[in-house]
Amino acid sequence: MEPLEIKRSSSQFGECVVMVSASHEGKDNCMPASWAVAASFDPMMISVHIGTGKYTDELIRKSGVFGASVLADDQGDISTYAGTRSGRDEDKFTKVPNFRAKELDVILVDECVAALACKVVKTVEAGDHTIFIGEVKEAYYDPEKSPLMVFRGDYRKLGENMGQYK
């Protein structure tokens, strides 16, 4: 084991890349995040961790809903694009495939592994991030897709299937 700079310690977790989206008063935005995780099975809830002050943070606070789309392993270009621009300056969804959720007013990424529309049930301030915990109200998926992963700052694909967890 070697010493690791504390600020780089979170990069040691292999995580799915999730496009977090928000919509409010006709404005849509999305941003890639790897800090997203299931929070409860009953009811089904997930949490997303968004930098405080980001445009997505602002839209989620105003609307009370968010989308979480698990990007497919061929969508790294979408993640890079959305992560290097601000939704305050341009509509990212002109270049990101999308569809609107049926029940909640939020836009979701299309052609991904899974897309979840969530209603915020709790907001937690955590240092320089806001943790939004949302109840999943709608869920869509493509059983043929595999997730885009990030590990140590690089995009990765899942390796060979090692078998079913029992």
Q: Decide: helix, strand or coil at residue 7.
A: helix
- Asked whether the predicted pLDDT for residue 87 surpasses 60, the reply is yes
Q: Which amino acid is at 159?
A: G
Task: Quote the domain boundaries for residue 121.
Answer: 15-157
- Region 7-26: what's the mean pLDDT? 90
Whether 166 is in a domain gets the answer no
Residues 6+ away with beta carbon under 8 Å from 74: 148
Q: Decide: helix, strand or coil at residue 50.
A: strand
Whether 52 is in a domain gets the answer yes
Proportion of the chain above pLDDT 70, given as a percent: 96
- Between CA 24 and CA 63 the distance in angstroms is 6
- Asked whether the predicted pLDDT for residue 166 surpasses 80, the reply is no
Give residue 163's pLDDT: 56
Least confident of 10-14, 60-64, 85-89, 118-122: 10-14
CATH number of the domain at 90, please: 2.30.110.10
Residues 6+ away with beta carbon under 8 Å from 79: 17, 19, 32, 71, 148, 155
Whether 162 is in a domain gets the answer no
- Claim: this prediction has a pTM higher than 0.85: yes
Whether 145 is in a domain gets the answer yes
CB-based contact 82:19 (threshold 8 Å): yes
Helices in the chain by DSSP H: which ranges?
55-63, 76-83
